[in-house]
Amino acid sequence: MSCSLIGTCYAGRAVLTVHLLCFFQRFELHIIRLLDFIGLLVLSEMTLFSSLEPPLSSETLEALSNSGFKFCTPVQEKTIPPLCSHRDVIVGAGTGSGKTLAFIVPLVEILRRIQPDNKPNQVLGVVISPTRELSSQIYHVAQPFVSTLKNVKPVLLVGGVDVQTDMQKLEQQGSKILIATPGRLDHIMDRIDGLDFRNLEILILDEADRLLDMGFEKQINSIISRLPKLRRTGLFSATQTEAVQELAKAGLRNPLKVLVEAKLLSGASPSQEFGSSKLPSGLKNEYLLCEADNKPSQLVDLLIKSKYQKIIIYFMTCDCVNYWGLALPQLSLLKNFSLISLHGQMKQIARDKALATFSSLSSGVLLCTDVAARGLDIPGVDFVIQYDPPQDSDVFLHRVGRTARMGRKGSALVFLTPKEEAYVYLQRSRKVPLEARECSDEAPDVIPEIRSAALRDRDVMEKGLKAFVSYIRAYKKHDCNHILSWKKLEIGKLGMGYGLLRLPSMPDVKRRSLSTMGFIPVTNVNLDEIKFWDKSREKQRKQKLQAKLLAQEVEKRERKRKESRKATSGVGRKKPAKKRRAIQSVEEYDELDREYSLIKKLKKGKIDETEFANLTGTLDLMCNL
């Protein structure tokens, strides 16, 4: 009986196990994210917003609750109380630590206490961030909290929008809170005298290190010089550089330094424990060594294996994003993938649309530059792939920080060639450990398909060439050029990796200062005859080509005309008056000498009068007489 009962129990467990496996397979992604969130609550010592001192207002607590925030992250717990207590702060915290709420909540609380009046042009709070996307994100995060204040509304000031529109909006409606990029805010402050900053309560500099790295130091100093000294200032950054420290000395008064390090999840590997304080707690950080001509195949293999994940792929330049954003969808293996491009040279409307679309997806791929590396809180990113290492090695940490945010799990991978392996040790020395990952033997060879796409569409071919050249130029300017040496760049394998039909005519290629080994050009193809797939673009190309040929013909004729004129420059040209008079005088003297000589011959009888008259031209005159 007992055996039968035990058998029944085992059978029941087996059935239950099968049902559970089916359940997990169907809802795997959602369950993993739910477990990550639960792990965050269990593994972290969380503090309730309602328990902070000084206490937050009921309106702010309600807005936090409605937005799904009940517990503070460590950076919020350490930053909100001092900012609300009239202290300046310098905050250093990793990506995904919740820095945005750490300054939005104090800003709203400070303005609530002073009860702003209806003066439209009185500015009470300023938030400055380095990029349009980050400023826009802060603006949207702040909306539900600012809406709880009376007579207060924020205004977003970023590039990509007509500056006259922003000026008219401020002059007519005003704003108590400005959320802006430094260039646009400095421009607005120069052109609008009506904005009143005398009663400014709080200034926030978000991603301060990036503000300085991007060359905004002049604008930041200009803005700070026009603000009152009696204010609260918060300086937030993921890395505390020397430039940030200098800025803090100039703009902050006796600041409180807040440094928040990420905590490891239990069971972390030894490689993670080494210097793990700079990594998000749930991040699996890896590197993949492969030759440049094998990178596209390995990338496609990773995308296929991560089909149902949300992935960000970082490239070195905007041209690289444009090219791969066009080439990857041409591959048959990626036909059903959602591939979205984002970079700084896109129009602002297109950038906003791309970011909003990717954020709304449960799975998809974002191809981007470092414009999406800092501060952006894109929900649910599972995997970050660095196809190219960043020009600025400090950005490496910010890139991988787009995943494993707020205690969730995530993966990151950087592609490196064998000659770039020292980059791993550089990151490890900066307390950013990396684990090795093996190349996949199952990766499909996609280079022939990319080349076929270039033969079909001139746009693919031209964008590939531009991306290739832009990558080489950017590689030269890498801040780790002692490790990522430009002189060791194998452009032959790189060109194959870009699916080029032929290497471009570059000085370094002509001089053979860089290795072209490994490149196999496509033969028996006239590149000038490759057409655009878009008929309108092909028509424009032909018109430009005809105009170019016509211009060359006109130039050739003009050159021949100039050469002909130069050869006959002394013939038939009228001489200056002074020169003409000098020539005339010489001719007259010669004629007089000749006549005098003939008169002597006539007197001596050597010639007769008829001969004299004939030689001097007086014969006709004598006949007439």
Q: How confident is the model at residue 225 (pLDDT cuts 50, 70, 90)?
A: very high
Q: Are residues 309 and 455 in the same domain?
A: yes
Is 15 domain-assigned? Answer: no
What CATH number does residue 178 fall under? 3.40.50.300
Give the chain's domain count.
Answer: 2
Q: Which residue has the tokens 């001092």?
A: 82
Q: Are residues 362 and 241 in the same domain?
A: no
Is 241 domain-assigned? Answer: yes
Whether residue 398 contacts residue 373, with contact meaning beta carbons closer than 8 Å, is answered with yes
pTM of this structure: 0.71
Q: Are residues 229 and 324 in the same domain?
A: no
Q: Are residues 111 and 256 in the same domain?
A: yes
Is 155 domain-assigned? Answer: yes
Domain final residue, candidates 467, 502, 527? 527
Domain final residue, candidates 201, 229, 260? 260
Q: Are residues 88 and 166 in the same domain?
A: yes
Q: How far is residue 131's CA from residue 381's CA, in Å, rounded to a whole number?
A: 20
Is 516 domain-assigned? Answer: yes
Q: Are residues 90 and 183 in the same domain?
A: yes
User: What type of residue is 424?
Assistant: V
Is 509 domain-assigned? Answer: yes
Q: Are residues 81 and 58 in the same domain?
A: yes
Domain final residue, candidates 527, 543, 576? 527
Q: Are residues 227 and 275 in the same domain?
A: no
Is 608 domain-assigned? Answer: no
Whether residue 310 contacts residue 380, with contact meaning beta carbons closer than 8 Å, is answered with yes
Mean pLDDT of the chain: 83
Give the single-character DSSP code of 576: P
Is 544 domain-assigned? Answer: no
Q: Are residues 255 and 286 in the same domain?
A: no
Query: Residue 40 pLDDT more than 70?
Result: no
Q: Tokens at residue 62, please?
A: 């309600």
Q: Are residues 219 and 309 in the same domain?
A: no
Is 360 domain-assigned? Answer: yes
pLDDT of residue 173: 80
Q: Are residues 478 and 426 in the same domain?
A: yes
- SS3 track for 21-49: HHHHHHCHHHHHHHHHHHHHHHHCCCEEH
Q: How confident is the model at residue 264 (pLDDT cuts 50, 70, 90)?
A: very low
- The whole domain housing 363 covers 270-527
Q: Are residues 293 and 369 in the same domain?
A: yes
pLDDT in tens, 75-124: 999 999 999 998 999 998 877 778 999 999 999 999 999 877 778 789 99
